[in-house]
Amino acid sequence: MKRALAILFLFFSIPAAAVYVNGAGTGQALIYPYYTTQSTDGNAFNTYVTIVNGHAQPKALRVRIREGRAGREIAGFNLFLQGRAMWAAVIVPYTDGGAFLVTPDTACTDPAFILDTGLRYLSFLTDSFSGRCRMFDASSIALATAFTS
């Protein structure tokens, strides 16, 4: 009897609407389920990360990078994108272990990235070679209070 009820509820359950896939391919969260900077035969892997603000209104985004082992946050920052702007970065390995995020992009971040030889970078708080990256739409910014980069 319990099995029959479970099967009945399976076919007549209410669909969850908290997360859905937009037919246009846009949304409020971007999840890179896996990044790695490990090497094979001395050749290191890099993970490229990009995000586009498809709206005319500026956006504030929260970016969180977590390690693969324990899932703890190893880097986090706020990213401010102007309307119709794109941001790109790459997760690369340190020569002595671990990884960091580097970008040539001049978009505002908080905390600010370290500027060195024309590139901006953010070090990770661990020597982990793999993990995941999540970006969330935190807020739209009114055009009257918009920023300039």
Which residues in 17-85 belong to E strands, given as ranges? 29-36, 39-40, 43-44, 47-52, 59-67, 73-81
Residues 6+ apart with CB under 8 A from 123: 75, 98, 100, 114
74 in a structural domain: yes
Q: Strands 43-44 and 39-40, how do they pair?
A: antiparallel
Domain contains 36: yes
**pLDDT for res 32:** 84
Residue-wise pLDDT tens digits, 102-114 = 999 999 999 999 9
Question: Using one digit for the tens of pLDDT, what is the confidence trace for 15-45?
Answer: 555 566 677 877 778 888 899 888 888 888 9
pTM of the model: 0.78
Count of structural domains, the chain: 1
In a domain, 124, yes or no: yes
Find the domain containing 42 and state its range: 28-145
Other beta carbons within 10 angstroms of residue 71's beta carbon come to 10
